[in-house]
Structure 1
Amino acid sequence: MKTELSKIRSELEDALLYDDTFTSSAGKLNEATALIREALFKIKSNISEDGFESQNDEIEFFKLFKPAILALKIGLIYRYNLKLNEPVGTSETILKYYESEIKSIQSFFRINSFHYQYYKNNLTNMDTDYFLRNAGPLDLPTEDINDLDPNFSTPMSLLFAKFKGYESIQQFSLNQIALACAEPTKKTPGDSLKWTGDSINVVELAYGLYLTGQLNNGNASLNQIVRWLEENLQVKIGVVQRRFTEIGRRKRLSQTKYIDQMKENIQEKIDQGNS
């Protein structure tokens, strides 16, 4: 069952990654939430049919797997509303708006501080009370912790999803603050750089930056990185996922030809010394 669940999750994440504009309009947001709802339905059906092989598998599902899926929905809806209500004004106005949002999120973490510390420190001593469906009432109550379906929820799975989702919103808000604080740079004609190599090489570069988490503490999406490269290097990539399949189809050459070439040239330079 784990393999099937991982496949469903992977397909969902790929679909959301393919188009990161889901928070740009209500229509787009509805598309994204529909994808998540469909994935959850498939996951629930799998669990209803196959169950869990062990107690540890059930705990892992409700502690890590399901909260990660729900956090995607929480994050999408939250970001949509943040951008929808973002004030029109100076950088200082936008700065205060997102700082206020961060304070609100931190207040939520403080209200639920006992369980948030359990989440942050990856503790396990209460897992059988928190993440098994037949667990009884909690000794330490907290607000809004239950899903509607007792066969597909546990006392803490939704709260853990909120922790994960709100952390992503906190990072998103920090990124918006950084953008608001950034000083615009004036470019001179001599500053302009243009990519003159093969555009497929930019695809390798984009995936390398994305998969190694080099930008925005690993929170920059693949499409954000591609747009940034296109804008700053004056190159057109097109649909990056389709271009990536071109890399996968390489047979005679290395599938990472450009990055391999970079590695060889850098190593050659190192071998030659600093001259």
Structure 2
Amino acid sequence: MKQLYKNILLTIEQEEKNVSKSSKSVIDEAYHMLSFLRGSLTDLKLEIAANSFDSILDEITFFKHVKPEILGKLIYYNKLIRIESVSPKNLELLELYYAEQIKILNKEYRKYIASSDFYKYYRSGRIDRDECYFRLGNINFFDGLNSFFFEVDSEFSTFYDYKIARILAFDLIHHYVSDKVNAKGESAKISFESADGSEFSWTDSKNALIELIYALHISGSVSNGRAGLRRMSKLFEDLFEVKLGDIHHAFHQMKFRAGEKASYLRFLKNSLEQYMNKDL
């Protein structure tokens, strides 16, 4: 199943690149991706119905990481259509329109996402309740559920996969609208220099930097986790003059790689401890 998941996510990534080059407008691109993503989910549903999961871990991985990434993008493109289809043509009004959309998004975030216990669970990287949240048929009705749960396909959803998808979609749409608010033609590049005038540079691997960005974001160490992964990655790209590309895809590959997870963070921890113990 892992290879199937990788192939589908890679196919989606490639389709996004292709349609971005060929589409005449953002709305055309979004409509195309809506259809493509729905097809991808249907294919996955049929595959899982026919072959089930390889293990409990495989089931948790699918509903915690794989399906939310696809569904999150589907929610994102649908929201994008709703925002862009009623956007004004006047440039001055357009800037005000996007600024208002940011306010609406932030209000939705505070009301429906950030205030939930599940959001804190997910963002903190906890796994102790994964079997409750990401296995079919394990819903606890005493937790209090949104009525939406009774309309989902109980054979292809744990309900909490939708919650993660909504979080990921928020990050995507917030980044999109923020770029529209801050754009002045081409986004101005931020220049960072040290006290002696020399520029900073990243001298480790790109994956190491992506791992660090995710850790800072998930832990809530930067703006209590509200900054958004794409905005944080842009900050680090400008700071170190490096192009990170699709950090979501890169991080997803890290999750499935063999060997030790979070290897760069462990390297940092060991390096710091060795330095602190050096003079003891």
Asked if the contact 1:105–1:170 (Cα under 8 Å) also holds between the matched residues in 2, the reply is no
2-side partners of 1:3 and 1:146: how far apart? 31
TM-score between both structures, scaled by the size of structure 2: 0.59
Q: How does 1:67-146 map to 2 (within 5 A)?
A: 67-87=68-88, 88=90, 90=92, 93-94=96-97, 96-110=99-113, 112-143=115-146, 144-145=148-149
Asked if the contact 1:95–1:181 (Cα under 8 Å) also holds between the matched residues in 2, the reply is no
1:132-167 per-residue CA deviation (whole Å, 9 max, x = no partner) reads 102133432242346622111113111111111112
The equivalent residue for 1:273 is none
Helix, strand or coil at the partner of 1:150: coil
2-side partners of 1:107 and 1:180: how far apart? 28
1:47-96 per-residue CA deviation (whole Å, 9 max, x = no partner) reads 11221121111011101110000011111111222122223352662353
Matched, 1:4 2:4: yes
The equivalent residue for 1:61 is 62
Change (3 A) 1:126 1:23: farther
The equivalent residue for 1:173 is 177
Number of equivalences: 195
1-side partners of 2:112 and 2:24: how far apart? 24
Asked if the contact 1:146–1:155 (Cα under 8 Å) also holds between the matched residues in 2, the reply is no
Q: Which runs of 5+ in 2 are unaligned?
A: 189-205, 211-229, 235-280
What letter matches 1:29 in structure 2? A
The equivalent residue for 2:152 is 148
| Larger Rg, first or second structure (1 or 2) | 1
What letter matches 2:53 in structure 1? F
Sequence identity percentage:
19
1:6-59 per-residue CA deviation (whole Å, 9 max, x = no partner) reads 112211221112122769365543322121111112211221122112111101
CA RMSD of aligned residues (A): 3.4
Q: Which runs of 5+ in 1 are unaligned?
A: 185-208, 220-275
1:111 CA drift (Å): 6.7
1-side partners of 2:150 and 2:167: how far apart? 14
Change (3 A) 1:54 1:104: same
Asked if the contact 2:134–2:161 (Cα under 8 Å) also holds between the matched residues in 1, the reply is yes
